[in-house]
Amino acid sequence: MSVPFDPYILTRKCNEDLSSKEYHLVRPNGDDDITLTGSTQLPIGALTNDVGVGTASDPIYVPVQVGQIIKVKCGGAITAGNLAGSDAAGKAVQVDGAHGGGANNHAFGIALETYANGDIGAFLWAPSYLST
């Protein structure tokens, strides 16, 4: 019997407490490791709702949504059709070059609807860079 494979879910090692970070954006951090994405970084995807607590001595592996359409927790208002990037906490924010006191020019996707702060939004994965 074969096991189903989802090419849009990666499993990556976590050395920190991400138990309350479901649907937050993550980036690579060493060999097979992930950490939350900062406001000037490009994420590789978003955590699913199946996250937990990892430590340096006892890491865990968590699923990361990549490609196609991903669900991300919003850290501010985002209008449908606009580019979205990460804030300093790994939440989706509208990319306009003025977030977090500095320029946030790395976009991971396009908002499929209009979202408010705290919403879990759906985004079409389309990494890009906004030149300001």
Candidate from 45-54, 83-92, 102-111 with smallest mean pLDDT: 102-111
Give the pLDDT confidence score for residue 128 in this predicted structure.
85
**pLDDT tens per residue across span 16-71:** 888 899 999 999 987 778 899 888 888 999 998 878 787 778 888 888 999 899 99
Burial pattern 48-58, b for ≥16 Cβ within 10 A else e, equals eeebeebeeee
Q: How many C-alpha atoms does 63 have within 13 Å on its Cβ side? A: 11
Mean of the per-residue pLDDT values for the chain? Answer: 85
Give the pLDDT confidence score for residue 101 in this predicted structure.
39
Give the pLDDT confidence score for residue 21 in this predicted structure.
92
Q: E strands along 1-131, which residues? A: 9-14, 25-28, 33-36, 45-47, 60-65, 69-73, 83-86, 92-94, 106-111, 120-129
pLDDT class for 117, splitting at 50, 70, 90?
Answer: very high
CB 74 within 8 A of CB 98: no
Please tell me the distance from the alpha carbon of residue 44 to that of residue 64, in angstroms, as a whole number: 8
Please name every residue paired with 76 in a beta bridge, in sequence order, or none if there are none: none
Q: Is the dihedral of CA 127, 8, 32, 58 positive or negative?
A: positive
Give the pLDDT confidence score for residue 17 in this predicted structure.
85
Q: What is the pTM of this model?
A: 0.85
Taking alpha carbons only, the member of 74, 85, 76, 73 closest to residue 110 is 85
Give the pLDDT confidence score for residue 100 in this predicted structure.
43
Give the pLDDT confidence score for residue 58 in this predicted structure.
84
Give the pLDDT confidence score for residue 3 in this predicted structure.
47
